[in-house]
């Protein structure tokens, strides 16, 4: 063990602050009263009502993260608090939660990597009365896609850059006003570019996906898109792509935890109320063990995600912890979704209950990169 790693704390405090507890109560109440009931309508219509975003905007999630100098509340950067918010909102619905949290991800990326000029130019937009949709564009439409080998290319030209490529599974693709596009910059590796929706050469089109229907995932085309030098996040200094990916994936994991908790909450009640052959089906070991395994796997994922977020918050290296959390969540969340459907038997194949939708949404964590910057 190196001297540095030997000095790093190996434990982390799970005790929530008073502020975190109050925030959780607020998020849980909003998820229960505004999101769960709306989730089925959004899943079937593949569209999130504009009035929902306005209600969510009143929670102040994004404004709290904006520094006071730019009109926000100036709360400390807290990946742990963001994990809790994502989990609580996704307990109501994952698509709605990721839609609400997408702008927060851009704010956090600007705080982490943006120049003072970029922060002054963009952050005030996120404290306005109206919801400002801004999202990350990372995935690309090819079978062999790797986040380490981006085919979207950026080339320096004159005093700026030219972008060409196609992004897929971009959230809120038709309504977003600002995209943070990840592209390979010639000679510098993966970089992030701030691209306005109305920039010449940018076209967006929503496409049907198996899950997260209301998130309006779709394709973003960039054809000879000309940008100024100030469009490069950090303007060539300080952008840490590994940290960016780790925080982005942890955001997806955190949302997945909320859905998995919803599966556990409902199936626990269902198996005790569903009677077959004269007794609750929970009396059968195969059923009881399946519910117990959901609870066990959920807690293990939660601890991994919280630990990674805690290390990020304290300025420690968290790449290993984030990778372990992400790999575990990709596998276990799909398993929990499958088991939730299985526990309901024939009911799991109908839309009478939420399990079939939760199953589809949970698969997104491993299928597409639709997280947000914690």
pLDDT band at 15 (very low <50, low <70, confident <90, very high): confident
pLDDT band at 11 (very low <50, low <70, confident <90, very high): low
Residue 267 Cα to chain centre, angstroms: 25
CA distance 324 to 59: 32
Note whether 107 and 65 are within 8 A (CB): yes
Encode pLDDT of 49-84 as tens digits. 999 999 999 999 999 999 999 999 989 999 999 999
Encode pLDDT of 158-172 as tens digits. 999 999 999 999 999
pLDDT above 90 as % of the chain: 91
CATH node for 3-132:
1.10.540.10
Domain ranges of the chain: 3-132, 136-236, 241-367
Note whether 24 and 31 are within 8 A (CB): no
Tell me if the domain spanning 136-236 has CATH number 3.40.50.720: no
Length of the chain: 374
Encode pLDDT of 213-260 as tens digits. 999 999 999 999 999 999 999 998 889 999 999 999 999 999 999 999
pLDDT band at 10 (very low <50, low <70, confident <90, very high): low
Fold of domain 241-367: Butyryl-CoA Dehydrogenase, subunit A; domain 3 (1.20.140)
């Amino acid at each position: 063990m190196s001297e540095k790693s030997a000095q790093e704390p190996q434990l982390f405090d799970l005790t929530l602050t008073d502020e975190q507890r109050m925030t959780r109560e607020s998020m849980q109440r909003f998820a229960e009263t505004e999101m769960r009931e709306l989730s089925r309508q959004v899943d079937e219509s593949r569209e999130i009502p504009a009035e929902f975003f306005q209600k969510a905007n009143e929670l102040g999630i994004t404004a709290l993260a904006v520094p006071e100098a730019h009109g926000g509340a100036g709360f400390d950067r807290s990946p742990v608090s963001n994990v809790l918010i994502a989990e609580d909102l996704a307990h109501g619905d994952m698509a709605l939660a990721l839609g609400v949290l997408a702008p927060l991800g851009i704010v956090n990326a600007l705080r982490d990597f943006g120049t003072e000029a970029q922060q002054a130019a963009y952050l005030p937009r996120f404290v306005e009365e109206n919801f400002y949709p801004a999202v990350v564009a990372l995935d690309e439409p090819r079978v062999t896609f790797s986040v380490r080998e981006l085919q979207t290319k950026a080339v320096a030209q004159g005093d700026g850059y030219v972008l060409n490529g196609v992004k897929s599974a971009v959230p809120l693709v038709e309504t977003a006003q600002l995209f943070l596009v990840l592209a390979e910059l010639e000679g510098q590796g993966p970089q992030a570019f701030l691209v306005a929706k109305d920039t010449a050469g940018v076209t967006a089109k929503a496409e049907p996906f198996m899950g997260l229907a209301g998130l309006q995932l779709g394709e973003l085309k960039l054809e000879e898109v000309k940008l100024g030098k100030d469009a490069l996040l950090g303007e060539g200094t300080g952008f840490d792509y590994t940290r960016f990916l780790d925080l982005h994936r942890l955001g997806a994991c955190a949302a997945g935890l909320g859905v998995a908790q919803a599966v556990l909450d409902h199936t626990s009640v269902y198996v005790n109320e569903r009677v077959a052959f004269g007794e609750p089906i929970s009396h059968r070991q195969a059923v009881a063990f399946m519910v117990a395994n959901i609870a066990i796997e959920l807690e293990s994922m939660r601890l991994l995600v919280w630990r990674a977020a805690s290390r990020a918050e304290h300025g420690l290296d968290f790449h290993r912890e984030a990778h372990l959390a992400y790999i575990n969540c990709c596998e276990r969340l799909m398993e929990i979704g499958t088991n939730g459907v299985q526990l309901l038997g024939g009911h799991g194949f109908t839309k009478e209950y939420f399990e079939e939708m939760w199953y589809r949404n949970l698969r997104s964590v491993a299928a597409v990169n639709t997280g947000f910057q914690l």
